[in-house]
Amino acid sequence: MNKLAILGGTPVRDVRTNPWPKWPVWDKNEEIALIEVLNSGVWSYNGPKETEFNKNFADFTGVKYAISAANGTVTLLMALEACGVGVGDEVILPGLTWQATAATILDVNATPILVDVCEDTWCIDPKEVEKAITPRTKAIIPVHLYGSFADMDEILRIAKKYNLYVIEDCAHKHGGEWNGQKAGSIGDIGSFSYQLSKHLTAGEGGTVTTNNFDLYEKLDALRNCGRRPEPETEVKADKGEGVYFDAGNFLQSGNYRITEFQAAILIEGLKRLPEQNRVRDENGIYLNSLLKEIPGVIPMKRDARETKEAYFNFSFRYNMADFKGLPVAKFRAALTAEIGIEVAASYTPLNNCSLYVPLTKPARHKLNDEYWAAIDPSRFKLPVCDRIHFEGSACIHHKILMGTYADMDLVAAAIRKVYDNAENLL
């Protein structure tokens, strides 16, 4: 009866008869909103749905301005450009993140500086940030990874000391709070993603948030081919041609715009987000309390300053020695078979990641030999990222936290079963 599912036994959760909560979540309201957009014929940018969503998201996040765009990659790009990051600048980011955080830095011809993360949160280590600062440093991008928060107090202290921009990558943190302040309202700019797996989604999409009018004006122009923000409020630097005008130069940009269809879905999704986040937080606390009892499983650290948790993935740390030497990949495969949902490794550290390979694009990036050497990711040493990714990470989509305590009991029971049977997998 206790035979592991991966070896032909009965899984702890049979998802054919007992599926996990579905993701994405939608109902009649999305259907009505989408039909409304369809019938209006207003499908593109600056429409009523986009305007409404931007206002709602700004209110929700506690900022003055929210500007939505095509996805969470272009929002990072816009954020970097709005801060004036470019040739000769360095931007410090964690080595453990999705490739877009680094790739967008390259796209503005600046140098990504990868630093190590904290073992207990997997977020950027402020001590490593401070060590990496040079006269060229222009910005820091903390990433609030999976269910954790970067130490924003320390990041802000360092940024102030060295006069740096802080761009929060909040692709995983819609609605999370640090000291009562929402993610995306703490640094100069917050960048969000609505890709399908995210806990607020329109399939694709993104938003930047800021309290700074000058940054807002640039961000809005950047998303819209360099045009000035509409409606035309407080526009300071405008030649009267509907084109953003900055320090004597027109602002070159492209089309990074969101559609009315995406905005319509986001308006409805945002109404559900606070309650979904509350349920995930409650279940996360309960599940972590169960995991603490299993040897070799270490819950992520929850800092007392994280006043509201938001989960993109539920993750935890794994110690192979306690599992009789069972390699983490085998542990994840066995747990996947027990619970019927993928248990994945963390992101691959960016110093050796097949999706972050700047040296494959000499036509774009080989500006000179010095820059070419500077952007070689393999020059960065990231021992903590390596340890997390290769030896000790387990990450599960946030939908497992959307059910009941009984669901959490099953996850813990499945991990316990793998623990009890570890020798059968060696």
Ligand X SMILES: Cc1ncc(COP(=O)(O)O)c(C=O)c1O
Residue 344 lies near ligand X (rule: CB under 6 A): no
Cα distances (Å, whole numbers) of residue 177 to 60, 173, 272, 306, 378:
11, 9, 17, 6, 34
What are the φ/ψ torsions at residue 390 (nearest 5 degrees)? -85, -25
Residue 349 lies near ligand X (rule: CB under 6 A): no
User: Considering the complex, what minimum distance in angstroms separates the CB of residue 406 from ligand X?
Assistant: 30
Q: What type of residue is 332?
A: R
Q: Which stretch binds ligand X (CB under 6 A): 96-104, 126-134, 152-160, 282-290?
A: 96-104
Nearer Cβ to ligand X (171/384) = 171
Residue 180 neighbours by CB distance under 10 Å: 9
Residue 124 lies near ligand X (rule: CB under 6 A): no
Among residues 169, 219, 203, which one has the least CA distance to residue 350? 169
Cα distances (Å, whole numbers) of residue 36 to 25, 40, 203, 396:
19, 6, 19, 35
Query: How far apart (Å, rounded) are the C-alpha atoms in residues 303 and 305?
Result: 5
Nearer Cβ to ligand X (204/407) = 204
User: Considering the complex, what minimum distance in angstroms separates the CB of residue 168 from ligand X?
Assistant: 10
Site for ligand X in 170-189 (CB under 6 A): 171-172
In sequence order, what E strands does 350-398 have?
Answer: 393-397
Strands 189-193 and 165-169: parallel
Residue 64 annotated among the catalytic residues of the structure:
no
Answer for which of 6, 79, 143, 222 binds ligand X (CB under 6 A) is: 143
Q: Which stretch binds ligand X (CB under 6 A): 68-76, 134-142, 334-342, 371-379?
A: 68-76
Residue 169 lies near ligand X (rule: CB under 6 A): yes
Query: How far apart (Å, rounded) are the C-alpha atoms in residues 304 and 167?
Result: 23
Q: Site mask, ligand X, residues 98-117, x = CB under 6 A?
A: x-xx----------------
Q: What 3 state SS string does 45-76 have?
A: CCCHHHHHHHHHHHHHHCCCEEEEECCHHHHH
Residue nearest ligand X, CB atom distance: 72
Q: Site mask, ligand X, residues 193-212, x = CB under 6 A?
A: x-x----------x------
Among residues 280, 269, 277, which one has the least CA distance to residue 403? 280
Q: Which of 198, 218, 308, 417 is catalytic?
A: 198
Nearer Cβ to ligand X (72/269) = 72
Report whether 284 contacts 310 (CB < 8 A). Answer: no
Nearer Cβ to ligand X (104/421) = 104
User: Considering the complex, what minimum distance in angstroms separates the CB of residue 105 from ligand X?
Assistant: 12
Answer for which of 54, 61, 68, 97 binds ligand X (CB under 6 A) is: 97
Binding site for ligand X (CB under 6 A): 71-73, 97-98, 100-101, 143, 169, 171-172, 193, 195, 206
* Residues identified as active-site: 198
